[in-house]
Structure 1
């Protein structure tokens, strides 16, 4: 009987998530050669090729894609088993999308009031999301949508509504809507709404697809070479500073930003509220219900108690998220 090497399985999952052996090596604290050897050993054990090697990165073969969900589940089970027998479970690992996002601000509020909590913040990326970190065993909890994304959440993942973030319109000072006190979604249909970060298949690209279907907004997710000529976008969306520079210089483009997002200040950017209704992004707190980490219970209780449900009642939220957020 073939016994899988957990170290090789972990290298396989990291390579899928990072799309490059070198980046997987950085994530695991190994050399690229060590990652390559572990994956080669796993391929020999299974008698199949797990990756298509191409210039600039790797993608899983059909066999690799079939292995991936089982590999993630195996690693999560192994991490849970280790934590169960340790006297010290270690820090509570919480995954967030980024330091500027609303969920990071709400998490800081929690940590300021729980200064004794042993916590480690994991910043995710467009290609390796907070949900991926949770499902892959790298995080004990994650802020993300409970719906959407490339695959549904397993049944053992719990979720509570944590924060709804109303969206505002960002335009340049010369845009026709720059001086408006507020803009309805119907009025916005006449203009181009550019959200390049939603080009990557993810829970938030699904959100914007649902918003477009509901409102009729034309949401453009295509990259604009002129905007990002000097920016490497191969590992994800361009920095927000680059996006804002392009919006500020245009009299036709607009983009969307959450009210709780700490966007960099720009002298030529104008923020305009959206109304009738106000779209809002639903941030849930997700966790593995089989995880016994003692830091989970107070974290869950805090966000269950502080969820801004009064704001959610007047916002548009995708139908799939409403049962969790509009109860």
Structure 2
């Protein structure tokens, strides 16, 4: 059923004149008349009778009006639900315990009136997230396309922030007592990062990290979840993993896990934000300004090639 015909009928019924309805809807009186006539043919009833003062509802029109109002209101709500500025800002993060989610939560706390919808697409290929932004399914995604030339026309990617990495180990690990570690001290130790997905940005990150510092990155086995990973670390004397300094992990007290910063250089994972090139959600401007105000990492920092103008190490 024609929504515009229903809208014209509702406004004519409420205003009592076709011309007033036409003026409000921004069309001609003839257009309103044609819409209502088409609606009457579809329903096979008369909805209005003409009077000297305008139009009045017939009995059928009176019965139809509340239903037509409900349909028009439902359509308006549906449109508002997907129109930027009239709905929540939808941002994709890799996980609700990730550094991206933590930063997004901090932003919301700084602006508690923000209508925000945190999304986890659960996809490994960043191109899938790009397609979701391009289609308007989400407003932005914390993903990185390591070759910016591969971004579709009209899309853009900005640097969000850099997340420093820490070594996470159990109490029996040889490095457990260290207050901080250098990359040289990590050599020959097994760093277990299970389930690194092919074609993902983090697969390329860990490849460059292992090559650049002669590290033993072990991606063997599927990732059964953070709980299994943490249990394994707690029981092991030789397994460690790398986690973001802002990533939230919770484990039982008797696990006694240790988070140890890596320095000289600091390993940093660069996080980007994929955005639409046109018609962005109005709230994105405030969020981007918030990201720009985040403190930068100090000291010597290692970044993968796609994020470092110096090919790996920045100061």
Query: TM-score per shorter chain, which class?
Result: 0.5 to 0.7
State the distance in 1 between where 2:96 and 2:246 align: 11
Structure 2 runs not aligned, ≥5 long: 1-78
Q: Does 1:190 align with 2:188?
A: yes
Inter-CA distance 326–145: structure 2 relative to 1 (3 Å threshold): farther
Q: Does 1:90 align with 2:87?
A: yes
Aligned counterpart, 1:251: 237
User: Normalization by structure 1: what TM-score?
Assistant: 0.63
The answer as to whether partners of 1:168 and 1:256 remain within 8 angstroms in 2 is yes
State the distance in 1 between where 2:145 and 2:299 align: 18
Deviations 1:116-165 (A, max 9, x none): 3222111132446654543453211111235269x932243323322211
State the distance in 1 between where 2:84 and 2:196 align: 42
Aligned counterpart, 1:207: 205
Aligned counterpart, 1:279: 267
The answer as to whether partners of 2:193 and 2:218 remain within 8 angstroms in 1 is yes
Q: Does 1:261 align with 2:258?
A: no
Q: Does 1:111 align with 2:108?
A: yes
1:174 is aligned, of 172, 175, 190, to 172
The answer as to whether partners of 2:125 and 2:200 remain within 8 angstroms in 1 is no
Aligned counterpart, 2:33: none
The answer as to whether partners of 1:184 and 1:277 remain within 8 angstroms in 2 is yes
Q: CA deviation at 1:211?
A: 0.8
Structure 1 runs not aligned, ≥5 long: 1-81, 224-232
2:258 is aligned, of 264, 270, 275, to 270
Q: Does 1:145 align with 2:131?
A: no
The answer as to whether partners of 1:148 and 1:204 remain within 8 angstroms in 2 is no
Aligned counterpart, 1:120: 117
Deviations 1:61-99 (A, max 9, x none): xxxxxxxxxxxxxxxxxxxxx89x958642221111111
User: Normalization by structure 2: what TM-score?
Assistant: 0.65
Moved over 6 A (4+): 324-327
Aligned counterpart, 1:43: none
State the distance in 2 between where 1:192 and 1:87 align: 47
Q: Secondary structure at the match of 1:302?
A: helix
Aligned counterpart, 2:63: none
The answer as to whether partners of 1:95 and 1:133 remain within 8 angstroms in 2 is no
The answer as to whether partners of 1:148 and 1:207 remain within 8 angstroms in 2 is no
How many equivalent residue pairs? 230
Q: CA deviation at 1:207?
A: 0.9
Structure with the greater alpha carbon radius of gyration: 2
Q: CA deviation at 1:102?
A: 0.9
Q: Does 1:319 align with 2:305?
A: yes
Range moving further from structure 2, 96-105 or 159-168? 159-168
State the distance in 1 between where 2:83 and 2:241 align: 48
Q: Secondary structure at the match of 2:196?
A: helix
Q: Secondary structure at the match of 2:100?
A: helix
State the distance in 1 between where 2:181 and 2:167 align: 8
State the distance in 2 between where 1:302 and 1:89 align: 21
State the distance in 2 between where 1:132 and 1:174 align: 45
State the distance in 2 between where 1:191 and 1:127 align: 27
Q: CA deviation at 1:265?
A: 2.6
Q: CA deviation at 1:193?
A: 0.8
Q: CA deviation at 1:243?
A: 0.5
Q: CA deviation at 1:285?
A: 2.2
Aligned counterpart, 1:72: none
Q: Secondary structure at the match of 2:122?
A: coil
